[in-house]
Amino acid sequence: MSTIHTSAVIEDGAVLGENVSVGPFSFIGAQVCIGDDTTVASHVVIEGKTTIGKNNRIFPHAAVGTIPQDLKFDGEDVELIIGDNNTIREFTLLNPGTKGGGSVTKIGNGNLLMGYVHLGHDVILGDNCILANGATLAGHVELGNHVVIGGLTPVHQFVHIGDYAMVGGASALAQDIPPYCLAEGNRANLRGLNLTGLRRQMEREEINALKAAYRELFEQGKPLQEVAQNIFETTTSDKVTKLCEFIKTSKRGIPFIRVKNEDKNNEDNQ
């Protein structure tokens, strides 16, 4: 049985599943669909064509499905889709898509969006990601699965971040981060593999293969695309293949400090 506070406003047409809870002074628009066992706390606004799955928790003062922060938006039919088992903390802002970006913002399952997180229009968020307080994703950003974004980190529009990547807090990310990698700084650069995250999910052999590939890609001073293609053609590791595919298809480039051949030779001779 759903529990709706008497001060909440539920517009005609909204669809609420079984055991949905809506707290005081929250607003749910006519095109909203909320799945079973989802909790909407007090002072939450859910608008637009927004579909929310099962067993989500939405905390006070979240704004979900309000129109995109895009001056080109002209009231077209766009939507926001949220999966199951997500935690959406206080003062988060989640916008739907735009006509120019596919018209859909999509959030997967099992994600934690901490306070003041913003997901801009046409963002695609995978499963089991953690976005710490104040992380802000501009339009058209795409995150894979198990991605961690540190607090107060802005991510530039059209950036792509691969599975199991981590971006440190207070960074500013303007380029793509390959899967399994760690980046930080302003502007953010690769610092190595996200070893803490990988050790929680992968066997040692897989991690060792990624370590070897990372060294070859980013620490030998060789042309990145050429190295990625060579490794792609010879590796037997699915994880390494995924890493190389990401690099080969990156549109914004990979932010890393390129080692000059003479510098590498000097290091080898020391």
Token pair, residue 95, equals: 């916008």
Report which of residues 19 and 267 the model is more confident about: 19
Residues 32 and 113 in one domain: yes
Please give the tally of structural domains in the chain.
Answer: 2
Answer yes or no: is pLDDT of 266 > 70. no
Asked whether residue 252 is assigned to any structural domain, the reply reads yes
Looking at residue 175, the DSSP 8-state letter turns out to be S
Domain range for 58: 3-140
pLDDT tens per residue, range 197-219: 999 999 999 999 999 999 999 99
Confidence of residue 1 (pLDDT cuts 50, 70, 90): confident
Tell me, yes or no, if 221 is annotated catalytic.
Answer: no
Answer yes or no: is pLDDT of 268 > 50. no
In angstroms, the CA 213 to CA 95 distance is 37
Asked whether residue 194 is assigned to any structural domain, the reply reads no
What element of type H or E holds 154? strand 154-155
Residues 134 and 13 in one domain: yes
Asked whether residue 112 is assigned to any structural domain, the reply reads yes
Asked whether residue 225 is assigned to any structural domain, the reply reads yes
Answer yes or no: is pLDDT of 167 > 70. yes
- Which one of the listed residues 61, 121, 140, 156 is annotated catalytic? 121
Asked whether residue 74 is assigned to any structural domain, the reply reads yes
Q: Tokens 């001779």 identify what position?
A: 269
Please report, for the domain that includes residue 28, its CATH number: 2.160.10.10
Please report, for the domain that includes residue 238, its CATH number: 1.20.1180.10
Q: Which one, of 164, 131, 161, lies nearest residue 146 by Cα? A: 164
pTM reported for the whole predicted model: 0.95
Token pair, residue 186, equals: 């302003």
In angstroms, the CA 40 to CA 57 distance is 6
- Which one of the listed residues 35, 97, 101, 139 is annotated catalytic? 139
Residues 28 and 107 in one domain: yes
In angstroms, the CA 122 to CA 60 distance is 24
- Which one of the listed residues 70, 122, 163, 176 is annotated catalytic? 122
Residues 11 and 129 in one domain: yes
Asked whether residue 155 is assigned to any structural domain, the reply reads no
Asked whether residue 192 is assigned to any structural domain, the reply reads no
Tell me, yes or no, if 151 is annotated catalytic.
Answer: no
pLDDT tens per residue, range 108-136: 999 999 999 999 999 999 999 999 999 99
Give the DSSP letter string of 195-220.
Answer: HHHHHHHS-HHHHHHHHHHHHHHHSS
Tell me, yes or no, if 121 is annotated catalytic.
Answer: yes
Q: Tokens 């914004």 identify what position?
A: 252
Which of 114, 140, 166 is the last residue in one of the domains? 140
Which of 94, 115, 140 is the last residue in one of the domains? 140
